[in-house]
Amino acid sequence: MEKLLYKQESKVKQTLNYLAVSKLKLGIIANFGNESLEYKRVLL
């Protein structure tokens, strides 16, 4: 469980960095690997 949380946290940090550089305000992290789509909105 800790590895999963760390992995999610690193994806959020990476998305926040991308948003800061690109000057966009919204990022979406999508996971297509499960039965249904999982997504998370990240706002700067």
Asked if residue 42 has pLDDT above 60, the reply is yes
CB atoms < 10 A from the CB of 16, how many? 14
Q: Pick the closest to residue 15 from 4, 31, 3, 26 (CA basis).
A: 26
Task: Enumerate the β-bridge partners of residue 30.
Answer: 39
18-36 pLDDT, tens digit per residue, is 999 999 999 999 989 889 9
| Predicted local distance difference test score (pLDDT) of residue 2 | 56
Task: Enumerate the β-bridge partners of residue 38.
Answer: 31
Instruction: In whole angstroms, give the CA distance from residue 20 to residue 12.
Output: 12
Token pair recorded at residue 42? 């990240």
| Predicted local distance difference test score (pLDDT) of residue 31 | 87
